[in-house]
Amino acid sequence: HTVTLNGLTAGTLYHYRVKSKDAAGNLAVSPDAVFTTAPPPDTTPPAVSITTPAANSSVSGTITVSATAADNVGVASVQFKLDDVNLGPEDTVAPYSLSWNTATVGNGLYALTAVARDAAGNTASAAVTVTVSNDLTPPVLSGATASALSVDTAAISWTTDELADSQVEYGLSTGYGSASVLDASRVTAHTVTLNGLTAGTLYHYRVKSKDAAGNLAVSPDAVFTTAPPPDTTPPAVSITAPAANSSVSGTITVSATATDNVSVVGVQFKLDNANLGAETTIPLYTFTWNTTTVANGTHTLTAVARDAAGNVAISAPVSVMAANGDVLPPSMPTGLTATAVSSSQIFLVWSPSTDNVGVVGYKIFRDGMQVATSSTSAYQDTGLSPVTTYKYTVAAFDAVGNTSAPSAPASATTLFKSAQGVVPASAGVTPSVTIAGAGPSTASRRSVSAASPFLPAGTRRCVTAA
């Protein structure tokens, strides 16, 4: 038996029972049973809206396109479209989104659409208009220069008209071969320091900057030269005038020649190791020397040349003889002492004088009258009278007769005259000595009057007369 029921209400629980009657009219009725009609068909489309990007916004680079969608039954998928062309696959799982690299299309206006579909095939769409505005222009590089050069470093600077990263390629040729580490920070004033360069070497370089959109600009080739290696070679210097061992007087020109592998900065003349004037910095290196300012005699001239790196060289010494007229007297002798050493001799000694040229000797004055000269700072005056006081002064003189002031006076009194004689050793004899001579000479010894024979030579007795 099959009976089709029509005109039922959708999605409704129905009770039913079936009945059958045989040919004899016997009726059978089933127990109650139920069925539910199929639910009513989904005819309600989903609701959909684009959450990003905002309508009428400007977009660039890679962005996220996202939408929300809802349905009375269930959203089956969301399909994004760009100007009615599918953009990526259908998204069947919320949240509905898509990563879109806007650089894959040209700049301009686009319609972004999200189409939501339910399982019944109902669809709905929402659209926003966006402007794709990607940076398609590389930075403009300008002012690439190399500065702050040292023996092994260089600073490369340049500017860009927009924010961009920094890198420098460099090498010994336009093939470069080396590159600085990419500085990814985006700036408009770029500086890259190159290290580990070779001194005194020409380098080729070019600078590179990439904007945020990846547009790369590369400068033309340029060059720089690192600073030369440090100068460790001292100058060479020699005195060209005056000639060695020459005699100089008055005002003369001292001159030197100096050379250096780089350059001579200055030459300092020296006299006896003391600076002679200021350093001269301009070739020819000369100094005007007034030789009368130094003592006559031998002096040593040297010249010290200096380069910019501080290397110095000293010339071979040149000896010269200063020979100017001497008008300066020696200094006054001091410390004069007078000591009587006998009845006829007084010993003088004093501190030596000094002179610009040299002390030749000393004049000895006794009681105001010059009585002698001495080449040393001592003198023994002789031939004096016993027990007599003498006053002395001394004055120093140089080779041309310049004489110092006289020293402070010193006085001494000669001793009593003494005689050496022989006294007999006989008991009971009273010795008698007659003072008849001066000094312990043989003659005076002989002149001692005594009643005894002369003693053998070398035997001495001294008797002082009272």
Name the site residues for Ca ion (rule: CB under 5 A).
Answer: 42, 44, 71-73, 118, 122, 135, 137, 211, 215, 231, 233, 260-262, 307, 311, 326, 328, 355-357, 398, 402
Give the ranges where 4-128 is alpha helix by DSSP (H): none
HSE, side-chain direction, 13 A CA sphere, residue 403: 11
- Residue 296 to residue 312: CA distance in whole angstroms: 30
Q: Which is nearer to Ca ion, 296 or 344 (CB)?
A: 296
- Give min distance, CB of 296 to Ca ion, in A: 8
- Give min distance, CB of 116 to Ca ion, in A: 9
Residue closest to 335 by CA, chosen among 403, 407, 413: 407
Q: Which is nearer to Ca ion, 46 or 242 (CB)?
A: 46
Q: Which is nearer to Ca ion, 30 or 44 (CB)?
A: 44
- Residue 423 to residue 4: CA distance in whole angstroms: 198
Q: Which two tokens stand for residue 452?
A: 């005894």
Residues belonging to the chain:
466
Report phi then psi at 183, rounded to 5.
-95, 105
- Give min distance, CB of 44 to Ca ion, in A: 4
Q: Which residues contact 268 (CB under 8 A, 6 or more apart)?
A: 275, 276, 278, 279, 280, 303, 304, 306
Residue closest to 193 by CA, chosen among 153, 150, 221: 153
Q: Which two tokens stand for residue 350?
A: 């004093």
Q: Which is nearer to Ca ion, 138 or 242 (CB)?
A: 138
- Give min distance, CB of 378 to Ca ion, in A: 21
* C-alpha torsion sign, points 50, 54, 58, 64: negative
- Give min distance, CB of 138 to Ca ion, in A: 6
- Give min distance, CB of 375 to Ca ion, in A: 16
Q: Which is nearer to Ca ion, 39 or 177 (CB)?
A: 39
Residue tagged 């010494």 (tokens): 317
Q: Which two tokens stand for residue 308?
A: 């910019």
Q: Which is nearer to Ca ion, 129 or 137 (CB)?
A: 137
- Give min distance, CB of 161 to Ca ion, in A: 8
CB 286 within 8 A of CB 251: no
Q: Which is nearer to Ca ion, 255 or 311 (CB)?
A: 311
Helix (H) or strand (E) holding 447: helix 442-447
Q: Which is nearer to Ca ion, 118 or 165 (CB)?
A: 118
- Residue 420 to residue 432: CA distance in whole angstroms: 12
Q: Which is nearer to Ca ion, 69 or 98 (CB)?
A: 69
Amino acid at 80: F
- Give min distance, CB of 229 to Ca ion, in A: 11
- Give min distance, CB of 367 to Ca ion, in A: 28
